[in-house]
């Protein structure tokens, strides 16, 4: 029996790979993991990046962006911090909201920036603290 079939058997018997003592590189486990410079979160036992596997049990992910395939009924989604909020008198630049991305803040004329002009998307799905635009 090859290792892939053994892993599948463990999954079917126990519902999780947490009891297994090994894990394939490129497959991710429960809750949150870091693979190929991308953070993922969710609760699926396995996720195959790129949907290249040929098993009937694999389905497209539920994230809607084909960023992974999942085995079973749950999917893992790429961690995304969402659109960063901005004060009414502020402007935010940047359109990548995945983990590790950076957005830059500036203020409209007549206002000054208080705080760090950049925010970083963290692995927990939250942005670092937001700066404020104060009247000069």
Is 110 inside any structural domain? yes
Is 47 inside any structural domain? yes
Q: Which two tokens stand for residue 31?
A: 């809750």
Q: Domain containing 130: what range?
A: 90-135
Domain count, the chain: 2
Is 14 inside any structural domain? no
Q: Are residues 62 and 95 in the same domain?
A: no
Q: How far apart are CA 16 and CA 19, in angstroms?
A: 7
Q: Look at residue 38 in the predicted model and tell me its pLDDT.
A: 52
pLDDT by position in tens, the chain (length 136): 444 544 444 444 444 433 333 333 333 443 344 444 455 555 544 554 544 434 444 444 455 455 555 554 444 466 789 999 999 999 999 998 888 899 999 999 999 999 999 999 988 889 999 999 999 9
Q: How far apart are CA 29 and CA 19, in angstroms?
A: 11
Q: Look at residue 99 in the predicted model and tell me its pLDDT.
A: 85
């Amino acid at each position: 029996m090859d290792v892939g079939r053994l892993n599948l058997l463990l999954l079917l018997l126990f519902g999780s790979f947490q009891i297994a003592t090994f894990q394939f590189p490129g497959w991710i486990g429960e809750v949150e993991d870091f693979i190929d410079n991308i953070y993922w979160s969710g609760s699926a036992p396995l996720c195959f990046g790129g949907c290249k596997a040929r098993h009937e049990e694999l389905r497209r992910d539920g994230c809607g962006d084909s960023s992974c395939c999942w085995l079973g009924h749950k999917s893992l989604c790429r961690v995304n911090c969402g659109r960063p909020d901005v004060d009414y008198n502020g402007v935010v630049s940047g359109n990548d909201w995945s983990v590790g991305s950076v957005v830059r803040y500036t203020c409209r004329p007549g206002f000054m920036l208080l705080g760090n002009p950049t925010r970083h998307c963290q692995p927990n799905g939250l942005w670092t603290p937001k700066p404020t635009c104060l009247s000069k």
